[in-house]
């Protein structure tokens, strides 16, 4: 059984990842976030409040909970989000228990050598480069436009609608 932490697991893509991992029940789950959610249920994974600016504290947290896999669903559309994931990558690489990481790059394939390879990729490029420099196993998942947007409001979705 893998011990998995989902960073940004309370909203949008992260919440969907948590729901699906819970449904399959094959892994022990933790959710990482800046502040605890207002609501939780007894079935909810353990929520761990983190300070993404403190790499040492993040490393200790990953080791204390024996987290071997990190899935990032941090919103990289802001500089703060980009820096948070960079810190998470650094902490996971330093951790004695964490072996793999899935970065938050779900929308479009990123070519870190081509800044024009996709919309809004300014924060993605430093993260892709940083991940390559680690000893972590990683997979970069790019699925394109989320199919949820084609079905809203007729299907359940955790994603926010376009405005």
pLDDT tens sequence across 50-95:
999 999 999 999 999 999 999 999 988 788 999 999 999 999 999 9
- Is this prediction's pTM over 0.75? yes
Which class does domain 3-151 fall in? alpha beta
Distance of CA 59 to the CA centre of its chain: 16
pLDDT tens sequence across 87-121:
999 999 999 999 999 998 866 666 667 666 655 56
Three-point CA angle 18, 144, 13, nearest 5°: 20
The radius of gyration of the chain's CA atoms, rounded to the nearest angstrom, is: 15
């Amino acid at each position: 059984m893998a011990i998995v932490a989902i960073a940004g697991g309370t909203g949008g893509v992260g919440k969907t990842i948590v729901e699906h991992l819970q449904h399959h029940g094959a892994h022990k789950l933790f959710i990482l976030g800046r502040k605890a959610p207002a609501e939780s249920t007894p079935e909810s994974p353990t929520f761990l409040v983190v300070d993404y600016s403190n790499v040492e504290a993040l490393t200790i947290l990953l080791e204390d909970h024996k987290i071997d896999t990190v899935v990032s669903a941090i919103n990289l559309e802001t500089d703060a989000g980009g820096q948070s994931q960079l810190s998470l990558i650094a902490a996971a690489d330093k951790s004695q228990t964490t072996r793999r990481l899935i970065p938050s790059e779900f929308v479009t394939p990123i070519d870190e050598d081509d800044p024009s390879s996709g919309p809004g990729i300014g924060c993605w490029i430093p993260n892709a480069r940083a991940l390559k420099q680690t000893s972590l196993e990683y997979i970069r998942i790019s699925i394109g436009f989320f199919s949820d947007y084609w079905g809203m409001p007729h299907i359940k979705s955790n994603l926010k609608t376009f405005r």
